[in-house]
Amino acid sequence: MPESATTHVTTATPPPPVRRRTASVWLLVTGLLVVLLAGAALVAIEPLHRPLPAPAVTRTLPASTVVPGAAPALPWPQAGQAALSVDGLGPLGTSGGNRPVPVASVAKVMTAYVILTAHPLDRGEQGPTLTVSAAQAAAYPRERARGESLVPVVAGAVFTERQALQAVLLPSANNMARILAAWDAGSVDAFVAKMNDTAAALGMTDTHYTDPAGLDPGTVSTAVDQVILARKAMELPAFAEIVAQKEATLPVAGTVRNYNSLVGRDGVVGIKTGSTDEAGGCLVFAAVATVAGRKVTVVGAVLGQPGADTPVQLDRVFRATRPLIRTAVAAIAEHPVVKAGEPVATVRGPLGAGTTLHAAQDVRVLGWPGMPVRLDVDVPPVPQRLPAGTETGRISAVAGEGAPVTVAIESGVRLEPPSTWDRIRRHR
């Protein structure tokens, strides 16, 4: 080849490098993915930072019910008034209206109550003494001529407070009621004012006293009011002790007997008889029985039983009273008002979890069919996790005026908080 000939060599230009650009793109995409995933993760776990709401409790047990069964049909007397009540439970019923009527020697219950509240006695205690004045002794023949119920007295005779109350409450001595009144208040009139003040304080709105013995027909009351008084009087130990006696030994008079011949029969433990032409035969009574292992006291009053004289009047009031006591006692029993396992409330947790609360055992109350019963439910805040059968609160049942009966509440199926996945899934 000639020297002048020139050889041209063409060199290809390499393409620009792409590795660094591709890496940058991948870094960008990866960064975006990381950001997106982090955001998604934050969105997903954000509900986990919120506190779970407390489980909601909804009561399903009614606020009240009644003792099941038909209400007792009481054999009320055909004439006069009557009322019955059960201590610790409340009124059982009334008959004959509520018009104030003469109550005869039943008034002496108030006389004894006023004396014992002013001069309290313990069981068996004799208390202070009182002396019969010459004037009080001189009145005895005139009182006897009027046919009053009395105990013999003489001037200077000394009675203890208990003996004087025995004379008033057992043989129903009018003269000793007046002697006690003057001893306590200075005069009979002042004592009668105390009787009426006490009646008003006790809520005996249809009662008015004009004498401490009940001989005056102006002394009037109702069966309902006398039951109020009888229940209060029986709370006084000395009163309850005296009216349960069949007899007592007194100065001058010797042994005296209780006019209330029902004492010791049908559970009767007192309280007081009364009889006049205006009042008829009257009786305020208390009877004790044991029901379901518990002592119950039935207190009642029967007024205005007809009769020509005291023996007939009292016989009729006793005959009217005994069926009332027996029927009342037979009607009282222990009754279930909420059954074991009966639902009391529902519990609803977050995200639909739930359980029920139920009575752990029967809720049983003492009472009679038809008696109203109040039902209360106390459930503390329920935790997120509650094993089955956990005690959770109490049911309280109150029959009439009775004391509350409480029973535990238990949970049903286990309550669990929602899982993490459920919380995330349900909030997407």
| pLDDT for res 3 | 47
| pLDDT for res 147 | 93
Across 56-77, b (16+ Cβ under 10 Å) vs e yields: ebeeebeeebebeeeebebebb
| pLDDT for res 14 | 56
CATH of 96-273, one of 1.10.10.10, 3.40.710.10, 3.40.640.10, 1.25.60.10: 3.40.710.10
Q: Which long-range contacts (CB under 8 A, 24 or more apart) does 143-147 make?
A: 143/174, 143/175
| pLDDT for res 65 | 94
Q: Sort residue 280 into left (φ over 0), alpha (ψ -120 to 50) or beta.
A: left
CB 268 within 8 A of CB 45: no
How confident is the prediction along the chain (428 residues), in pLDDT tens digits per residue? 444 444 454 555 555 554 556 666 666 667 666 555 555 554 555 555 566 667 888 999 999 999 999 999 999 999 999 999 999 999 999 999 999 999 999 999 999 999 999 999 999 999 999 999 999 999 999 999 999 999 999 999 999 999 999 999 999 999 999 999 999 999 999 999 999 999 999 999 999 999 999 999 999 999 999 999 999 999 999 999 999 999 999 999 999 999 999 999 999 999 999 999 999 999 999 999 999 999 999 999 999 999 999 999 999 999 999 999 999 999 999 999 999 999 999 988 776 678 889 999 999 999 999 999 999 999 998 887 889 999 999 999 999 998 999 999 999 888 777 655 555 555 54
**10 Å Cβ neighbour count for 236?**
17
Q: DSSP labels for 221-288?
A: E-HHHHHHHHHHHTTSHHHHHHHT-SEEEETTTEEEE-S-TTTTSTTEEEEEEEEETTTEEEEEEEEE
Q: How many residues appear in the chain?
A: 428
Q: How far is the C-alpha of 281 from the C-alpha of 302, rounded, in Å? A: 8
| pLDDT for res 402 | 87
Q: How far is the C-alpha of 177 from the C-alpha of 183, rounded, in Å? A: 10
| pLDDT for res 385 | 82
| pLDDT for res 386 | 84
Q: How far is the C-alpha of 376 from the C-alpha of 397, rounded, in Å? A: 6
Name which of 74, 69, 94 is nearest 334 in CA terms.
69
Q: Give the tokens for residue 157.
A: 């005779």
CB 100 within 8 A of CB 207: yes
Domain extents for the chain? 56-68+336-426, 96-273
| pLDDT for res 52 | 66
